[in-house]
């Protein structure tokens, strides 16, 4: 078949269903490569929030997790959930992708830390209201769903009053720059205010990879509209001793501007 000019990379609106379909297929197909590339950085039972290497063991963004019921959404290989279990939490790890969950099972076998794994879309969580004390994710689900406001409402619903919700995402200002860890990634080229999704699509214009952009204000508004109180917004600095590049995250860029934003919020009591 002849290639249509629509194949390739673009910025455009995609529906929640298109976005979900693309994510599921992408993460199923990419699971082995993702783990091969990042698995050792993430560890088997370790909670790393971001490519800057900030660890929950040092940051304590979730508070005391001992005895808490924790849900991790977009868990990938679920190393965060296994770490949480070693800290005394009761954990469920959920992800849209069966491919990623296969790595979660392999991680459980390797580490000997077993946790319940569930295939679920973060936009429709199969849990009762108030089932958890804490919900968290490191770069899971939120950057990939078209309707992230809906995820905020779902997380709010499954948290008990007083519960905590913390998530890390690509820092919104990174969308201004090219996805380049080198010098090319230091030049502002895109509008920060362009909310159209980043879309990779095939010859039939079917999205194969979708990532969603919101501004910092949009993210805070989605949290507040769902009912959350924002407690903190962390922009981890690049450690001087850290020389490992992760995709577009690099020491060069990390020295100058933030690559990650971590939102910590609570459901009012």
Ligand X SMILES: C[S@@+](CC[C@H](N)C(=O)[O-])C[C@H]1O[C@@H](n2cnc3c(N)ncnc32)[C@H](O)[C@@H]1O
Interface ranges with ligand X (CB under 6 A): 20, 23, 27, 42, 73-76, 95-97, 100, 121-123, 137-141, 144-145
Tokens 């949009």 belong to which residue? 218
Query: What values do phi and psi take at 213, rounded to 5?
Result: -110, 135
- Smallest gap from residue 39 Cβ to ligand X (A): 9
Residue 4 or residue 109: which is nearer to ligand X going by CB? 109
Residue 145 or residue 240: which is nearer to ligand X going by CB? 145
Residue among 130, 152, 131, 168 at smallest CA distance from 229: 152
Residue among 192, 71, 191, 65 at smallest CA distance from 125: 71
Residue 122 or residue 226: which is nearer to ligand X going by CB? 122
- Smallest gap from residue 82 Cβ to ligand X (A): 12
Residue 153 or residue 255: which is nearer to ligand X going by CB? 153
Residue 96 or residue 115: which is nearer to ligand X going by CB? 96
- Smallest gap from residue 112 Cβ to ligand X (A): 20
- Smallest gap from residue 168 Cβ to ligand X (A): 8
- Smallest gap from residue 66 Cβ to ligand X (A): 22
Residue 54 or residue 223: which is nearer to ligand X going by CB? 54
Q: For residue 215, what are the CA distances in angstroms to 25, 122, 125, 193?
A: 26, 20, 25, 7
- Smallest gap from residue 210 Cβ to ligand X (A): 9
d(CA 198, CA 195): 9
Ranked by CB distance to ligand X, the top (closest) residue is 76
């Amino acid at each position: 078949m002849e290639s249509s000019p629509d194949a390739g990379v673009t910025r455009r609106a995609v529906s929640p269903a298109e976005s979900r379909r693309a994510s599921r297929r992408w993460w199923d197909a990419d699971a082995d490569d993702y783990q091969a590339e990042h698995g050792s950085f993430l560890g088997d039972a370790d909670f790393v929030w971001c490519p800057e290497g900030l660890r929950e063991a040092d940051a304590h963004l979730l508070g005391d997790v001992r005895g808490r019921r924790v849900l991790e959404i977009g868990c990938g290989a679920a190393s965060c959930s296994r770490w949480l279990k070693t800290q005394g939490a009761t954990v469920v790890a959920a992800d849209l992708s069966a491919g990623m969950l296969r790595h979660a099972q392999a991680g459980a076998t390797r580490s000997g830390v077993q946790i319940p794994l569930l295939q679920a879309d973060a936009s429709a969580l199969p849990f009762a209201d108030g089932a958890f004390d804490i919900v968290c994710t490191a770069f899971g689900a939120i950057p990939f769903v078209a309707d992230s406001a809906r995820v905020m409402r779902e997380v709010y619903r499954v948290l008990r009053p007083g519960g905590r919700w913390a998530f890390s995402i690509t820092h919104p200002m990174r969308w201004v720059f090219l996805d380049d860890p080198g010098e090319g990634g230091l030049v502002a080229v895109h509008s920060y205010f362009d909310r159209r999704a980043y879309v990779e699509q095939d010859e039939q214009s079917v999205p194969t990879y979708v990532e969603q952009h919101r501004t910092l204000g949009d993210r805070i508004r989605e949290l507040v509209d769902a009912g959350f109180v924002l407690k903190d917004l962390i922009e981890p600095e690049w450690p001087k001793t850290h020389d490992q590049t992760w995709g577009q995250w690099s020491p060069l860029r990390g020295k100058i501007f933030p690559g990650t934003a971590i939102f910590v919020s609570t459901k009012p009591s």
